[in-house]
Amino acid sequence: MPLLELQNVCVQFGGLRAVSDFNFTLDQGELVGLIGPNGAGKTTAFNVTTGVYRPSAGTVRLAGQSIAGQKTFKINRAGIARTFQNVRLFANMSVLDNVLVGFNKSLTQSLTSTILRAPIHQREDRQFEDQAIELLQTMNLADKAYAAAGSLPYGDQRRLEIARALATRPKILLLDEPAAGMNPREKAELMQLIRFIRDQFQVGIWLIEHDMKLVMTICERITVLDHGEIIAVGTPAKVQSDPAVIEAYLGEPA
């Protein structure tokens, strides 16, 4: 049984079908890419997986259980975390506090214990803070833990968003264009980081990215969308040589 499975998923907005008959699987520890021209339906596929959209048809399952149409926070608690095309951080909060927000689903103390700052609540706070610092060390951000998140360089903000997603302890991590706006050095570091996260945290990673060098280097399998429909699935080598993929990106020869 796949860890994540989308079967015959369609997403329709009025007369526009953004995704049509979409089929996809992801297992634990896999690193899979989703590519296609702008407007192909990639982010829509992420949105229907994470509960932003309800599928017009089809099923979405996590570990065999249907999650289609559930609230986004419930899907996150079930084990799916994501980042976004446009960085979404709490800009005025510290880097550390942004990561601590991700531990929200792990809280075990009652509201009364929290308000009264009971010793058991304080111990739990210290444990989460230690774990948050460890995540920041993984992202090379520990020295900026008390800086405002909005003051970070763009590449650091991207890594912070990934750290916050990992704080929710996901089984699956969805990365929506994580290399957008990065320079070549930052992209090279990001490739190493994504592989490390997959191996260290044993998560399945589903990646949308327009940087073909990054996708073809780190992904084991790639799905290609065009106008909401899958036009190719396979290894990077297979996808790169597929005539339908070449046409979708470069246009049909005159």
CB 175 within 8 A of CB 158: no
Q: How does strand 65-66 pair with strand 57-62?
A: antiparallel
Q: Which CATH architecture has domain 1-78+194-205+230-254?
A: 3-Layer(aba) Sandwich (3.40)
Asked whether the predicted pLDDT for residue 110 surpasses 60, the reply is: no
Give 102-124 as a 3 state SS string: HHHHHCCCCHHHHHHCCHHHHHH
Tell me the C-alpha to C-alpha distance, in Å, between residue 122 and each of 126, 129, 138, 185. 6, 10, 25, 40
> Tokens 């975390």 appear where?
81
CA atoms within 13 A on the CB side of 78: 21
Q: Whole-angstrom Cα distance, residue 19 to residue 226?
A: 9
Q: pLDDT tens digits for 142-184? A: 999 999 999 999 889 999 999 999 999 999 999 999 998 888 9
Q: Which residues of 217-249 are buried (b: 16+ CB within 10 A; e: fewer)?
A: ebbebbbbbbebebbbeeebeebeebeebeebe
pLDDT band at 89 (very low <50, low <70, confident <90, very high): very high
Residue 218, amino acid: I
Percent of the chain with pLDDT over 70: 89
Q: What digits encode the pLDDT tens for the residues 20-72?
A: 999 999 999 999 999 999 889 999 999 999 999 999 999 999 999 999 989 99
Q: Name residue 173's beta-bridge partners.
A: 81, 205
The predicted-structure confidence for 61-72, as pLDDT tens digits, reads as follows: 999 999 998 999
How much is the pLDDT for 252? 59
**Common-topology check for domains 1-78+194-205+230-254 and 84-169:** yes
Cβ neighbors of 86 (< 8 A, separation 6 or more) are: none
pTM comes to 0.87
Percent of the chain residues topping a pLDDT of 90: 73
Instruction: For residue 65, give the H/E element and its range.
Output: strand 65-66
Q: Which two tokens stand for residue 1?
A: 């049984």
Note the pLDDT of residue 118: 53
Residue labelled with tokens 């460890």: 134
In whole angstroms, what is the distance from residue 100 CA to residue 81 CA?
Answer: 15
Task: Decide the pairing of beta strands 229-234 and 16-26.
Answer: unpaired
User: In this structure, are strands 31-35 and 57-62 parallel, antiparallel, or unpaired?
Assistant: unpaired
The residue extents of the domains of the chain are 1-78+194-205+230-254, 84-169
The answer to whether 30 and 199 are in contact (CB under 8 A) is: no
Largest alpha-carbon pair distance within the chain? 73
- 84-169: CATH homologous superfamily? P-loop containing nucleotide triphosphate hydrolases (3.40.50.300)
Asked if the model's pLDDT at residue 106 lies above 50, the reply is no
* pLDDT at 109 exceeding the cut of 60: no
